[in-house]
Structure 1
C-alpha cells in the first residue's frame, strides 16, 4: 500500500482505525480493520476498511488489487467467525460515488442476503444502481486498471 495514503484526522473511519473513535473491532491485521456497520442492512453487516486513507472504490487502480483481495478475504473470515457457512447467500461490495456516506474506502459485508428487506436490497442488492460487488471491482481492476 502506498505510504502517501496516511490516515486523515477528519475522516470517521481513519479515527476508528487509529482508535481515536471507539467502536468494537471485530477483526484486525496490519492493513485492515473490521467493525459492525452502525446502520445494519442485514443481520450480519460488517465494514472492512484499510488503515490507510483511500477515497472510495472509484479511486482504486490496478496496484490496489492485493488490497481489495485482502479486504474480501477478511470479509469471508469474519463471516466464517460468525458461523455463516453459506457464502453464496452473502453480499460483499462497495457503494459507488456519490452514494458513499463516508469518503474512505470500505467493503460492505452482509449476510444472509436472502433475509435483507426491500430497503436494504435497494442499497446493497443486485439491482442497486449504486452498489458494486467486490468481484466486479476486482474484475474491472484486472481488465481495465480502474473502476468505472
Structure 2
C-alpha cells in the first residue's frame, strides 16, 4: 500500500527506532509511548487487520507472538508483565490500517485502560 505509514516505515521511507527485523516482521518503538517500554510488531506484508487473516497469511500471527516473546525477554519486561494490544476496525480504535500489535510494559498498567 503506497499510502500506508507502516509500509513506509518498513521500506525506510519514514524513520523509526527499530528494535528487531527479520524476513517477515518489523518491530519498533512507538513514537508516543503509553508506558516506559512501548513497541509495535508488524508484519512486513500489508495485512489490513485481524479481519484480513486467512489460511494463506494467518501463520504470521504465530511468528509475531514468538517475536514478542523474544523481545520482552531481551527488554526485561517479561518477569513483571506486559500488555499486548491489537485494535481492529474503527470501533476497535484502529487508526493505522496495517495489522499491528502494541507491547507495553515497564510499570503496572490499570485495567480497563484509559
TM-score by length of 2: 0.86
Q: Does 1:14 align with 2:12?
A: no
Match of residue 21, structure 2, among 10, 16, 28: 28
Cα distance in 1 for residues equivalent to 2:58 and 2:78: 25
Aligned residue in 1 for 2:96: 102
- 1:83 Cα deviation from its structure 2 partner: 1.5
**Correspondence 1:69 to 2:57:** no
Gaps of 5+ in 1: 1-7, 123-148
Q: 1:145 — aligned with what? A: none
Q: Which protein has the bigger helix share? A: 1
Alpha carbon RMSD of aligned pairs, Å?
A: 1.9
Instruction: Give the Cα–Cα distance (whole angstroms) in 2 for the partners of residues 107 and 43 of structure 1.
Output: 16
> Any unmatched runs of 5+ in structure 2?
none
> Which whole-Å deviations, capped at 9, do the CAs of 1:49-106 have from their partners, x for residues lacking one?
111111011222244331001111111111111122326x221131021111111110
TM value normalised by structure 1:
0.68
- Offset of 1:111 from its aligned partner? 1.2
2: CA distance, partners of 1:69 / 1:78: 14
Confirm whether residue 93 of structure 1 aligns to residue 94 of structure 2. Answer: no
CA distance in 2 between counterparts of 1:69 and 1:116 reads 25
Distance between the aligned counterparts of 2:44 and 2:78, measured in 1?
A: 28
Task: Report the secondary structure of 2:8's partner residue.
Answer: helix
Aligned residues: 112
CA contact (8 A) 1:41 1:116 kept: no
